[in-house]
Chains A and B, each alone.
Chain A
Amino acid sequence: GAVVSQHPSRVICKSGTSVKIECRSLDFQATTMFWYRQFPKQSLMLMATSNEGSKATYEQGVEKDKFLINHASLTLSTLTVTSAHPEDSSFYICSARDLASEKNYGYTFGSGTRLTVV
């Protein structure tokens, strides 16, 4: 089945630094990937839709200059949290969909990245 690998699983960084999170589709090509943010005991909140070879589409209220998304290939999307602050501490999850798979309506999620900004 479709596998999405997300790295790193955990990261601790100092305020003001930038952190890059990678999301890879291991056995399928994903023209579109999605980035979510999840606070404790809350549901996933879509941050942006990452489109291969073009600009990402950000949800309302998400700062595109702070959360930089790059989708340079059909198997890799990256989310960079720039100038991180403690309030950016959260659980970030990516997902992708294997459109080539017959009758596959399923989105596969990465295992998530726990970001802690100190």
Chain B
Amino acid sequence: KNQVEQSPQSLIILEGKNCTLQCNYTVSPFSNLRWYKQDTGRGPVSLTIMTFSENTKSNGRYTATLDADTKQSSLHITASQLSDSASYICVVSASRGNTPLVFGKGTRLSVIA
């Protein structure tokens, strides 16, 4: 069964600190993995997209890694800001076609002053 598991479920960190969110998946055959940021009451916004051959990708203070062998990904946030408070969702696609995406349940990050 195609599944995406994220950890931790929630996280509270102080402003300015770094954090790392984890994503494990069992989706096969693997096409690509995406990290989205979803603010409360808003639609998800893409942070990074990685294919099988990509190990790391950065977008500003966000850096995603992918280990296709172990089927694990991480999202590292550097020098967190209050505006980083949101849910971070890991999404895996099984193929390049229009097949349904497999969503993780997300990690709810709270950055406090």
Interface residues of A (CB under 8 A from B): 4, 6, 32, 34, 41-44, 46, 49, 59, 91, 93, 95, 97, 105-112, 114
Contact = CB atoms under 8 A, between A and B. Distances in A.
A43 B42 contact: no
Interface string B35-47: 0100001111110
A95 B103 CA distance: 13
Contacts of B89: 43-44
Given A59-B100, A106-B49, 15 more contacts: A4-B43, A6-B43, A43-B103, A43-B105, A44-B44, A44-B89, A49-B100, A95-B43, A97-B98, A105-B31, A105-B32, A106-B46, A107-B101, A109-B45, A114-B41
Nearest to A111: B43
Interface residues of B, number: 24
B7 interface: no
B73 to A, nearest CB: 14
Given A97-B98, A105-B49, A106-B49, A43 B106 contact: yes
Contacts of A105: 31-32, 34, 49, 51, 93, 96
Interface of B: 31-32, 34, 36, 41-46, 49, 51, 89, 91, 93, 96, 98, 100-101, 103-106, 108
A112 B103 contact: no
B113 to A, nearest CB: 23
Contacts of A93: 43-44
Q: Which of B36, B43, B100 has its CB near the most chain A CB atoms (within 10 A)?
A: B43
B104 to A, nearest CB: 6
A6 to B, nearest CB: 7
Contact of B43 (A41, A43, A46, A110): A110
A42 B105 contact: yes
Nearest to B41: A114
Given A105-B93, A106-B49, A112 B101 contact: no
